[in-house]
Amino acid sequence: MLQLSYIRDNANEIIERLKVRNFDGQEVIDYIVSLDKERRETQTKLDTEQGEMNKISKKIGELFKSGKRDEAEEYKAKTGELKEAVKKHHTKLNEIDEKLQGLLYQVPNVPNKIVPAGKSDADNEIIEEVGQKPTFDFEPKPHWDLAKEFELIDFELGNKITGAGFPLYTGKGARLQRALKEFFLNEAIEAGYVEVMPPLLVNEDTGKGTGQLPDKEGQMYHTELDHLFLIPTAEVPITNIYRDVIIKEDQFPIKHCGYTPCFRREAGSYGKDVRGLNRLHQFDKVEIVQVTHPEKSYEALDEMVSYVRSIIEKLELPYRVARLCGGDLGFTSALTYDMEVYSAAQDKWLEVSSISNFETFQANRLKARFKDKNGKMQLAHTLNGSALAFPRILAAILENNQTKDGINIPKALVPFTGFDKI
C-alpha cells in the first residue's frame, strides 16, 4: 500500500508511472488527494476545538475554586457545544479514513523506473539465457508420460482423491520431491537464510499485510467457519513475522527461508498450459524472504537473483532471466525478475521463480518499521523469491534428463535421492 504522504507529494508522477502497468490512476489518485486534504482540514478543526475545550475546562476549574459558580456554569454550556462539534469531527474522520483505506487498497505499487512497458508476459524483457538446451536422438516424452511410465506421479489417483491439480507422488517420484526440499533448504541455509516452519493457514490481517487480500481473495482457498486462508506461498506467513514490529536497524538484512505446501485456486486457468505439473492447485516450494534497509534493497534483490541462478545451475538446467513488464508485474511488486527453465519435450520455457522487491508497499501495510540513526521512524523494504517451486523444476528434470532406458538424476540431488537414475 502506498503511503499517503508519498501520494500527496508525488501524485502526478505516480499517475504517469502507473501507466506502465496499464493502470489508469488519475481518478483514484485525485480522489485520494482530495480526501487526504479534507482529512487534514478536519483534523486541524478537531485539534483547535480540542485545545479550546482544554482551556475552558481549566478556566471552569479556576472559577469554581474562586466561588464564581454562575460564570463557571456559562462556560460549561459552551463546553457542551464544543463536545458535540468534536464528536462530529471524530465521526467524519473515521468515515474519511475508511474511504481512504478502501481506495489505497485499489492502487498497485508504483513500478521501478526500469520496468519495461507491456501488456503481458509476451512483452517481458529477456535479460540472459544460460546453458545448452538438450538434444535427443529419439522423440522425447513429456513429463506426464514419463511419470506414468516410471510410476512417479499418479495424476488420475490424485484427481480421484481430491480433484484435478492435486497430484499424488509415488515411489521415486515422492523421493525426488523430498530430495528437492532438502537440497533447496540446505542451499538457502548455507547462503545465510534462517529457516522457519510457518503455519499453512493465515488470518485476514496476515493476508492483507502482504497484499494477497483484498486483491487476490478469489485465488485463495478459504475456510469459512474459522475465516482462515490456506497460504498461496510461504512469503505470506514469513513476512508477517514483522507485522507491527519495530526492527532494530542493526538487524538488517533479515533473511528467512521456509518450505511449505502452497495452495492456489488458479481460477480461470484452462488449456494445454495446465497439463501435468505445469499448473497445480497444491504444490511444494521453498521461499526466501528478506527485510532490509531501504538503501540496500536493490542490492538484496540482485543477491537473491544470483542465488536462485546458482541453484538452477547446480541442477544443470538451461534457464533464462526475464524482467517483467508493467502488464505482467504483480500488484504489490515494484520490480520482478522471473527465472524460467527450459522444458525439452514441451519445447517451452517454464517459470520456476519470481524474485521481487516490494519496497515499502508491504511494509506500509505491515507497519514493519525501524528507527534510523537520527531516531526517525521509517518503513523497511521487503523482498521475496521462490527458491524454488518444485513442480516445473521436476518437470524439467524429468524431460531434460531422459534417455532411451530411463531418467538420469542431477548430481546435486543424488546425495538426497540415494539413486542416480530412474
Residue ranges of the annotated binding site are 233, 264-266, 287, 351-354, 384
Q: Cβ distance 246 to 372 under 8 Å?
A: no
Q: Cβ distance 192 to 254 under 8 Å?
A: no
**Binding site, annotated residues for L-serine:** 233, 264, 287, 384
Contacts of 397 (CB under 8 A, 6+ apart): 176, 315, 317, 407, 409, 410, 413
For 79-187, list the strands marked E by DSSP.
125-130, 153-154, 168-169
Rounded Cα gap, residues 321 and 304, in angstroms? 13
Rounded Cα gap, residues 321 and 351, in angstroms? 10
| Partner residues linked to 258 by β-bridges | 287
- Note the helical H segments in 270-318: 297-314
Nearest to 189 by CA among 311, 338, 356, 296: 311
Tell me the three cell numbers of residue 114. Answer: 526500469
The secondary structure element, H or E, covering residue 354 is: strand 348-359
Rounded Cα gap, residues 380 and 371, in angstroms? 10
**Binding site, annotated residues for ATP:** 264-266, 351-354
Cell 540446505 found at: 186
- Measured from the Cβ of residue 395, the count of other Cβ atoms closer than 10 Å reads 27
Q: What is the DSSP string of 40-103?
A: HHHHHHHHHHHHHHHHHHHHHHHHHHTT-HHHHHHHHHHHHHHHHHHHHHHHHHHHHHHHHHHH
The secondary structure element, H or E, covering residue 383 is: strand 381-389
Contacts of 85 (CB under 8 A, 6+ apart): 49
Question: For 349, what's the count of Cα atoms within 13 Å in the CB-facing half-sphere?
Answer: 17
Rounded Cα gap, residues 247 and 252, in angstroms? 8
